[in-house]
């Protein structure tokens, strides 16, 4: 039987034929695709004609289509629906892929041709996008070590290969810890829990094969358990297991892996002539330097910590009023913060949650995209990789724009968190291709599935990333969609969250799961009024993580990252009842790969822009102002990485923003 991964796909919109692909297909398909890509790049390197943009840069853009197709399918299922066979393939593929791309980036003949085109750039009459692609291609080769020779060149290849193995190991260890731990609950342990938490715990028990309800380490279950369970002993047990992911000793412990990753990253940066990995990594971002990142984070840290410390005093008093004469602990914060929110804002999460049905929130995210950008969504009946997945044909004025896939529910085979990826990116070269975009979340199952307000924000956030991919309108795939600076990539996603807060959107789509009635005006007012509730806590746990990430990479790698983490937090004066959002052993953003290493700050860098960008709509008098929506699409969503990020934002807003909009948006502004 032919390997479906290597055939032309006759499916609607050439979506991967998941029902024809087996795990046994991946390895032979990858081997053939790697060989084909190597042959293509060797042919470019050895081309007899003098190097020019078409036979070198465009040829590189066109190469590797089979490889892209194989990897897009594999990494989709490996992240969202893993199994032992796929985990073993990941471990096997990581060094293979590292060696393959190291060989290409280290191909001296190929780099010589790229460098020759770069030297001619002023005489080539390139379009702005072509000039950008040339710059990025040349810079990518240099930063990958193409200019290194001899022992340094060989060492760079070894470092890349080892980092690939370590990143895969870190991810799989974390998945194992999250998958294997759960806490059975007796019936009386459910006392005080809202119905939606009980339902989620029972559904999790079925998934785990337990006789009764359980708490797992899925954020969509453990966070509401920590918010509502009056049992301090159970909250402590659950929180400590959540905090200990990747640090439980044995085969799944990530602490030694993190230390080795940091050492190798430092060595990699120094081989390339940088004083630190942070200096290397940030050179290509909007921030440019570690000092610029530190300055932003510290401007936010001081008011956030002050707010958190004031909140801690209130929560401690509430706890002591309950007869608990103890210091406020991390497993207490969410419980007493929820009680305080209920008291101060008269908001009952159990009463609120039925208004945030998953299906209605999906409709809301689509409806906003329709009003802003003219997009329409039609359900597709196609085989996907898991029964939970759904697909839509995205059109505008009757023309196909993209395929959107949603995979929303938590399961043991899926890594934690939420993400967006393109199984196929938009491009017009060498052929026109429309994107296939997927959002993956980890919401608790239910009938109907109900979201927290935070879950609903996550859904809008990931759909903002999807819009960045779907509305992309560039020629070359290397600058398509979210192929932008890391501290710019979160702008569209965080900006889109604002439309969830638009009153008319909530009035229409926040309807009760049982009665179908819209959210009462009084409740709506309370929801929006509580938007900044507990923002000191949320900001402190995030900024602490971002600062630890930065300090890990700015200077010599720490011999003991856990000790270094403690020192950094002590120097910051970390409130004792708050922990980092992502402690080192489960900080997948930073250690599962290089994506967010030295870059976890980027969510906040982007938030400086998203607060300012949404203000443009408010200044125009409507969240759906047609002129602002068209400008947002033209200058940001459709442009991908075809121009410098600062240039794109300035084209939309007329200037770059300061931190004031962020502090105001988080309710942390003083004076």
3-state SS class at 183? strand
CB 477 within 8 A of CB 134: no
Q: Return all residues near 3 (Cβ < 8 A) that are at least 6 apart.
A: 25, 28, 29, 32
3-state SS class at 50? coil
3-state SS class at 535? helix
**What is the C-alpha separation between 497 and 463, in angstroms, rounded?**
9
Q: Which two tokens stand for residue 199?
A: 């339902």
Q: Which two tokens stand for residue 401?
A: 């724009």
3-state SS class at 204? helix
**What is the C-alpha separation between 547 and 568, in angstroms, rounded?**
8
To 10 degrees, what angle do helices 290-321 and 330-345 make? 70
CB 29 within 8 A of CB 4: no
Give CA angle at 484 (481, 488), nearest 5°: 110
- Number of separate helices (H) and strands (E) present in the chain: 27, 7
3-state SS class at 356? coil
Catalytic residue list: 462
Nearest to 234 by CA among 312, 310, 332: 332
3-state SS class at 229? coil
CB 100 within 8 A of CB 71: no
**What is the C-alpha separation between 625 and 89, in angstroms, rounded?**
48
Nearest to 316 by CA among 45, 466, 160, 324: 324
3-state SS class at 547? helix
- E strand spans, 369-434: 376-380, 390-396, 399-409, 419-424
Q: Which two tokens stand for residue 229?
A: 């369970």
**Residue whose pair of structure tokens reads 């990116």 in the numeric block:** 425
**What is the C-alpha separation between 561 and 586, in angstroms, rounded?**
13
**What is the C-alpha separation between 471 and 458, in angstroms, rounded?**
20
The H or E element spanning position 193 is: none
DSSP strand pairing (436-443 vs 399-409): parallel
Alpha helices in 422-516 (DSSP H): 453-470, 486-497, 503-509
């Amino acid at each position: 039987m032919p390997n479906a991964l290597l055939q032309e796909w006759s499916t609607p919109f050439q979506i991967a034929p998941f029902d024809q692909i087996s795990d046994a297909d991946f390895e032979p398909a990858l081997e053939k695709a790697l060989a084909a890509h190597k042959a293509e790049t060797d042919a470019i390197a050895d081309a007899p004609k003098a190097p020019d943009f078409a036979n070198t840069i465009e040829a590189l853009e066109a190469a590797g289509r089979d490889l892209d197709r194989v990897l897009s399918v594999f990494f989709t299922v490996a992240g969202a629906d893993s199994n032992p066979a796929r985990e073993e393939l990941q471990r096997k593929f990581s060094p293979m892929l590292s060696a393959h791309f190291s060989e290409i980036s280290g191909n001296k003949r190929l780099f010589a041709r790229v460098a020759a085109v770069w030297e001619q750039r002023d005489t080539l009459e390139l379009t702005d996008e072509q000039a950008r692609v040339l710059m990025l291609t040349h810079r990518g080769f240099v930063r990958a070590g193409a200019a290194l020779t001899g022992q340094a060149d060989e060492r760079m290849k070894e470092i890349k290969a080892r980092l690939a193995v370590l990143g895969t190991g870190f991810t799989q260890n974390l998945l194992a810890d999250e998958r294997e731990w759960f806490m059975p609950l007796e019936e009386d342990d459910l006392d005080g829990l809202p119905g939606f938490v009980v339902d989620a715990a029972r559904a999790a028990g079925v998934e785990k094969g337990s006789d009764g309800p359980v708490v797992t380490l899925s954020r969509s279950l453990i966070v509401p358990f920590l918010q509502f369970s009056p049992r301090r002993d159970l909250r402590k047990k659950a929180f400590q297991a959540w905090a200990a992911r990747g640090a439980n000793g044995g085969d799944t412990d990530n602490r030694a892996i993190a230390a080795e990753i940091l050492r190798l990253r430092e060595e990699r940066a120094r081989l390339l002539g940088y004083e630190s990995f942070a200096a290397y990594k940030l050179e290509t971002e909007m921030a440019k330097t570690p000092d610029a990142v530190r300055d932003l984070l510290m401007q936010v840290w001081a008011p956030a910590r002050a707010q958190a410390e004031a909140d801690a005093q209130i929560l401690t008093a509430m706890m002591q009023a309950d007869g608990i004469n103890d210091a406020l602990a991390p497993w207490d914060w969410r419980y007493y913060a929820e009680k305080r929110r209920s008291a101060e804002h008269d908001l009952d999460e159990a009463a609120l949650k039925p208004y945030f049905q998953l299906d209605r929130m999906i409709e809301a995210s689509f409806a906003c995209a329709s009003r802003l950008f003219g997009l329409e969504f039609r359900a597709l009946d196609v085989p996907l990789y898991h029964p939970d997945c759904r697909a839509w044909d995205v059109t505008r004025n009757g023309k196909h724009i993209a395929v959107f896939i949603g995979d929303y529910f938590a399961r043991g085979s899926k890594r934690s968190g939420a993400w967006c990826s393109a199984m196929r990116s938009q491009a017009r070269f060498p052929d026109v291709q429309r994107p296939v975009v997927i959002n993956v979340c980890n919401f608790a199952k239910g009938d109907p599935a109900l979201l927290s307000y935070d879950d609903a924000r996550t859904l809008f956030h990931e759909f903002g990333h999807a819009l960045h991919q779907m509305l992309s309108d560039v020629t070359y795939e290397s600058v398509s969609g979210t192929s932008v600076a890391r501290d710019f990539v979160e702008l569209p996603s965080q900006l889109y969250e604002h439309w969830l807060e638009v009153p008319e959107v909530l009035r229409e789509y926040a309807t009760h799961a049982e009665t179908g009635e819209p959210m009462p005006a009084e409740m709506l007012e309370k929801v929006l009024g509580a938007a900044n509730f507990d923002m000191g806590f949320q900001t402190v746990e995030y900024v602490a993580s971002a600062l630890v990430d930065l300090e890990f990479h700015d200077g010599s790698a720490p011999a003991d990252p856990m000790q270094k983490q403690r020192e950094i937090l002590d120097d910051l004066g970390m409130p004792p009842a708050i922990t980092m959002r992502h402690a080192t052993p489960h900080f997948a953003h930073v250690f599962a790969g290089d994506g967010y290493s030295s870059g976890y700050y980027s969510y906040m860098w982007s938030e400086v822009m998203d607060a300012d960008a949404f203000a443009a709509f408010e200044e125009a008098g409507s969240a759906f102002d047609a002129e602002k929506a068209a400008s947002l699409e033209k200058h940001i969503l459709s442009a991908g990485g075809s121009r410098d990020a600062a240039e794109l934002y300035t084209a939309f807003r007329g200037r770059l923003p300061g931190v004031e909009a962020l502090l105001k948006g988080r309710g942390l502004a003083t004076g």
